[in-house]
Amino acid sequence: MRGRTTMCSGTILHVNAVGLMADLEVARERSLARRPFVIAREDVPRAVIQDLSPAAYREGVRRGMLAGYAQKLVPGLVIRPPRFELYREADERLWALGMEFTPLVERAGRGHLFIDLAGTSRLFGAPEDAAGRLRRRIVEDLGIYPSLALASSKTVSKVATRVFRPSGFAVLMPHEETRLIRLQPVELLPGIGPVLKERLTLLDIENIGELADLKPSEAEALGPRGTELTARAAGLDNSPVNPELPEKRSIRSAVTLEPDTSDLEVLRVHLRRLAAEAGFRMRKDNMGARAVRLDLVYTDGKEQSASETLKQVLVRDAELMQCVWKLVQRLACRRVRFRRVGVVFSRLSPAGPELDLFEPKESKSIRLQGALDRVHDKYGFAALAPGALFAAGIGTEPFAAQTPGRALAYGDAGW
C-alpha cells in the first residue's frame, strides 16, 4: 500500500460534476436521459439557459443562450424550470461527502470541489483508493457520475477532469502529468477565457505546452498574469486547498488620504478607485459580492463603519461604487476631515448565473465593463484610470509611475 501511495502523483483531487443541474433532473426523470433538454425559466422574458443535457449540447445549444433561440435551433427541445433548492441541497451533499474523508475540502463553484487527501491513507488507503470510494458514494447518494482526477496540484487535477469529462476517473503518475497537460488545448487551462484564447491564437499558441515554453519576456506580454499562466501551464502550482467557505472570504481595499480632506468629491474619487480594484480582483475569479462594508477613519482618530447585505451578487465597478456611496451618505455626517477610507466586499459567490440574468438594457454597461477589464488584463490595472482622478488632480501618481506615457483616462458615466 505504501508503494502505491508513493507512485501516485499527489493527493489533490478535483471533483467536477459537469452539468450538475441537468444530471440531477435526469436522475429524477430517466426519460430525459437521451433527450435534448435545457434548464431555463419560462416565466421571464428573454430567459437564458442555465444548464443543458449532452444531447442538447451536441445540437449546438450552449449555456447563456436565449431559450427562445435554442427552441428555434432545436425543434422539440424540452425546457425544465430550475429547481434551485434541489441543486443547493445536492451541492451541500457533495461537499458533505468530501468532508467524510478530510476537512481539507474547497468549494470551487457549483458541482466542483478540490480535496486534499494527504494524511488519509491510514483510514481510507492510498489516495486513489479514497478517490474511488468517494466517487462510488457520489453515484449512490446523488445518482450522478462526476469526473474525478488525482494529481499533485489543483491546476493539473482540474485540467485532467476537463480532459476526461463528463464521467472519467484519472489517477496521474508523476511522469504523466506534464505530458498530459502539455498536449491539451490551451483553453482547458484555468484562467484562460475567450479573450485571452483569441490573443494566444494570434500568437499561434494552440496547446498548453506551447504556452509553458514561453520566455519570461513573452509571458509578460500576455498581461499582468502572463507569468503566472505560463507557470501553471508547466504544472507549477503550489496553491493549497482552501477549506474556508466562499461566502466567508472577502476582498479588502483601503487608502490613506494625503492630505486629510473633508471634500466628499475627493472621497468619491478615491472610493471609485478602491471599488474598481476590488471589482477587478473579484471578476478575475468569476466571483461577486453579496455584502459590502465601508470603514472611515477621521483626523481625530474616531472610526465609523457601515455595512449592507445585498439582494443580488454585485460584480461591476459601477454597481459596487453605487452601493459604497450609499454607505458614505449614511456615515459622512461629522464635520471632521477624513484620514483613511476602506471598503470590504464579502460573502463572495460565483457570478456566472447572475450575469446571465442581466436585463437587455444593461448590455451596454456590460460591454463597457468587459472592455475595461481587457485593457487592465493586457496592460495592468494602472494603465487605465477614471477621468475623475485627473480632473481632480489627485491619485494619479501611481498610474504615471507604473505606466509612464501610457496611462489613459475614461469617463465615469453612471458612477
**Structural domains of the chain, ranges and CATH numbers in brackets:** 1-182 (3.30.70.270), 184-233 (1.10.150), 246-410 (3.30.1490.100)
Residue 121 to residue 10: CA distance in whole angstroms: 12
Ranges of H-type helices in 285-380: 317-331, 352-356, 363-379
Q: Could you give the CA distance from residue 35 to residue 338 in angstroms, rounded to a whole number?
A: 62
Task: Say what the alpha-carbon torsion angle 330, 334, 337, 342 is, to the nearest 10 degrees.
Answer: -30
Distances (CA, A) of 302 to 34, 247, 264: 65, 29, 18
Count of helices and strands (H, E) across the chain: 19, 15
Residues 12, 130 contacting (CB under 8 angstroms): no
pLDDT of residue 227: 82
Residue 107: per-residue pLDDT = 87
- Could you tell me where the DSSP H helices lie in 285-316? none
Half-sphere exposure of 354 (CA within 13 A, CB side): 16
Supply the pLDDT for residue 2.
38
Phi, psi of 88 (to 5 degrees): -65, -45
pLDDT at residue 132, rounded to an integer: 93
User: Structure pTM?
Assistant: 0.66
Residue stretches of the chain with pLDDT short of 50:
1-6, 353-363, 395-396, 398-407, 409, 412-415
DSSP 42: S
